[in-house]
């Protein structure tokens, strides 16, 4: 994974204000990148990182 993001922990809050633990997972996408030697490799990238990569090109 390129962005080193991991799951976060938060609360799911009901209408009665009861709090249950939940996991917030990063928005990961699998993309193919071409390495310097010409080979293609699949990597997992967070959507925010993918947006930054596309803005820099």
Classified as helix, coil or strand, 37 is coil
Q: Please provide residue 47's backbone torsions phi and psi, each rounded to the nearest 5 degrees.
A: -60, -35
Pairing of strands 8-13, 40-46: unpaired
Q: Report, as an integer, the average pLDDT of 14-21.
A: 98
Residue 2, domain member (yes or no) = no
Mean pLDDT of the region 6-27? 97
| 46 is a domain residue | yes
36 is a domain residue: yes
pLDDT digits (tens, 9 = 90+) for 36-48: 999 999 999 999 9
Q: Report if residue 1 sits inside a domain.
A: no
Number of domains in the chain: 1
- Here the CATH number for the domain that contains residue 43 is 2.30.170.40
Return the exposure string of 8-32: e unless at least 16 CB atoms fall within 10 Å of the residue's CB, then b.
eeeeeeeeeeeeeeeeeebebeeee
What is the extent of the structural domain holding 25? 8-56
Query: Could you tell me if residue 47 is inside a domain?
Result: yes
Does the predicted model carry a pTM greater than 0.85? no
Q: Is position 3 within any domain?
A: no
């Amino acid at each position: 994974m390129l962005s080193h993001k991991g799951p976060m922990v938060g609360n799911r809050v009901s209408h009665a204000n009861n709090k249950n633990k939940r996991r917030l997972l990063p928005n990961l996408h699998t993309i193919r990148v071409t390495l310097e030697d010409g080979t293609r490799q699949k990597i997992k990238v967070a959507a925010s990182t993918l947006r930054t990569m596309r803005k820099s090109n």
